[in-house]
């Protein structure tokens, strides 16, 4: 683990820089400047990154003169935030880009739970609701159709234009709560005649999946019905085991009001599991399910997730917050870390962020989750899902 100190008087700058470095596995501390009492301690540090817009270079020069010149690590004046990713690449050794491509990529298009939350306090992690793409050799397996699917649709249109070929896509729906289907009417590729969209999921409790999806496009709610979508989406209800091309899929029930599926995918480059909405009750209380049923579901899930390489899991709450949300169908990150540790997960991606969770709050959660895992002796890489994030398997 590498350590960085970031120096800025601008809270937004600190949040964004901290998030970028955390996402790359760095440990980060921040200070506001080089004035006395607020100087970075350069022991055991691998880089110091200074916000050139809010920290005066004379201040940096004075600090260097008064002893900071013994610094053996790079001190970088960062001109603008938009160059952050390129800068972070140069600090990362070895670069992930040098790895040969397996053709399997995970992309995050919507990472928020419950309702879209645009605004300045969520700009870094993003405010769109659930949508993740598992792309295998340019074939998209789309996980959920929250508002993030709109941007994925635009990107798929651009890819199809470059390839000069129609799109053939699979969309897996975990469940039909609004934050997982509300983007579908705005998914542009479904409005292009030669494209094919196959939708898969469990049936809902009261209705078939096809009916629930069509209902949100009835004239009261939306001007175009699902039957009039030119790509003619076909909707299939799935069993516990199925295959999408070479990818083997296991579907399983999660603990969430209504009926909600989680999925485990076996790809040639390793396994991925998507559990967007799931309640873990570590104290064995009844949730919306009776205690024994919830425990049985949990034990089966740990078995199904055993040894998975990347687990994307609901981390809507902290344990303190969860106390007043028992039965709401979501987990505290501490319980997710414990389950991931028990299941031998390699890389945990915290997902379905609470609408109230700011960028600062997510950075804090990542730091606490890593500390909690270390305390428990789990060797897990932990990150928070962020819109635009890609993981090359
Ligand atoms: Zn949800
Ligand atoms: Zn839900």
Mean pLDDT of the chain, nearest integer: 91
Q: How far apart are CA 132 and CA 138, in angstroms?
A: 14
191, with CB counted inside 10 A (0-12, 13-18, 19+), is middle
CATH superfamily of 100-392: Ribonuclease Z/Hydroxyacylglutathione hydrolase-like (3.60.15.10)
How many Å lie between the centroid of ligand 2 and the Cα of residue 352?
A: 10
Phi/psi of residue 335, each to 5°?
-70, -35
Q: Is residue 97 scored above 70 in pLDDT?
A: no
Averaged pLDDT, 239-249: 96
Bin 354: left if φ > 0, else alpha if -120 < ψ < 50, else beta. Answer: beta
How many Å lie between the centroid of ligand 2 and the Cα of residue 205?
A: 13
What are the start-end ranges of the E strands in 53-189? 75-78, 104-110, 131-136, 139-143, 168-173
How many Å lie between the centroid of ligand 2 and the Cα of residue 350?
A: 16
Q: Which residues contact 339 (CB under 8 A, 6 or more apart)?
A: 280, 298, 301, 302, 305, 313
Element housing 340 (H / E): helix 333-343
Averaged pLDDT, 120-137: 96
Averaged pLDDT, 113-126: 96
Q: Is residue 95 scored above 70 in pLDDT?
A: no
Share of the chain above pLDDT 70, in %: 95
How many Å lie between the centroid of ligand 1 and the Cα of residue 361?
A: 19
How many Å lie between the centroid of ligand 1 and the Cα of residue 177?
A: 6
How many Å lie between the centroid of ligand 1 and the Cα of residue 138?
A: 27
How many Å lie between the centroid of ligand 2 and the Cα of residue 335?
A: 18
Averaged pLDDT, 185-190: 97
How many Å lie between the centroid of ligand 2 and the Cα of residue 277?
A: 6
Number of H helices, E strands in the chain: 9, 18
pTM of the model: 0.87
Q: Is residue 358 scored above 70 in pLDDT?
A: yes
Closest ligand by atom to 275 CA: 1
Averaged pLDDT, 188-208: 92
Is 58 within 8 Å of 15 (Cβ atoms)? no
Number of alpha carbons in the 13 Å side-chain half-sphere of residue 225: 9
Q: How far apart are CA 273 and CA 279, in angstroms?
A: 16
How many Å lie between the centroid of ligand 2 and the Cα of residue 177?
A: 5
Share of the chain above pLDDT 90, in %: 71
CATH class of the structural domain 3-96: alpha beta
Domain ranges (residues) in the chain:
3-96, 100-392
How many Å lie between the centroid of ligand 1 and the Cα of residue 290?
A: 21
Closest ligand by atom to 146 CA: 1
For residue 79, what pLDDT band results from cuts at 50, 70 and 90? confident
Q: What are the tokens at 277? A: 């909405």
Q: Is residue 302 scored above 80 in pLDDT?
A: yes
């Amino acid at each position: 683990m590498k350590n960085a100190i970031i120096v800025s008087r601008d809270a937004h700058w600190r949040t964004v820089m901290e998030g970028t470095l955390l996402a790359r596995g760095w440990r980060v501390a921040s200070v506001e400047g080089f004035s006395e009492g607020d100087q970075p301690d350069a022991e055991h540090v691998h880089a110091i990154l200074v916000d050139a817009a809010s920290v005066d270079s004379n201040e940096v020069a004075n600090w260097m003169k008064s002893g900071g010149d013994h610094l053996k690590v790079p001190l970088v004046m960062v001109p603008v935030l938009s160059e952050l990713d390129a800068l972070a690449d140069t600090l990362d050794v070895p670069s992930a880009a040098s790895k040969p491509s397996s053709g399997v990529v995970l992309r995050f298009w919507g990472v928020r739970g419950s309702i879209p939350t645009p605004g300045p306090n969520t700009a870094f992690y993003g405010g769109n609701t659930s949508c993740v793409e598992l792309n295998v050799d340019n074939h998209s397996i789309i996980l959920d159709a929250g508002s993030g699917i709109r941007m994925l649709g635009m990107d798929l249109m651009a890819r199809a234009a470059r390839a000069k070929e129609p799109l053939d896509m699979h969309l897996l729906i975990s469940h039909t709560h609004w934050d997982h289907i509300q983007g579908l009417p705005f998914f542009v590729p479904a409005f292009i005649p030669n494209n094919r969209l196959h939708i898969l999921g469990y049936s809902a409790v009261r209705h078939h999946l096809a009916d629930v999806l069509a209902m949100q496009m009835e004239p009261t709610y939306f001007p175009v019905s699902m039957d009039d979508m030119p790509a003619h989406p076909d909707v299939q209800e799935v069993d516990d085991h199925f295959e999408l091309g070479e990818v083997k899929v296991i579907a399983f029930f999660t603990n969430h009001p209504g009926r909600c599926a989680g999925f485990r995918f076996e790809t040639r480059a390793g396994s991925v599991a998507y559990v967007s909405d799931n309640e873990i009750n570590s104290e064995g209380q009844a949730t919306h399910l009776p205690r024994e049923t919830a425990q049985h579901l949990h034990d089966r899930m740990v078995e199904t997730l055993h040894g998975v390489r990347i687990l994307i899991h609901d981390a809507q709450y902290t344990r303190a917050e969860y106390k007043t949300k028992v039965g709401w169908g979501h987990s505290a990150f501490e319980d997710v870390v414990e389950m991931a540790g028990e299941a031998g997960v390699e890389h945990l991606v915290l997902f379905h962020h609470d609408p109230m969770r700011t960028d600062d709050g997510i950075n804090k959660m990542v730091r606490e989750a890593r500390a909690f895992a270390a305390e428990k002796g789990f060797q897990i890489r932990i990150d928070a899902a962020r819109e635009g994030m890609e993981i090359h398997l």
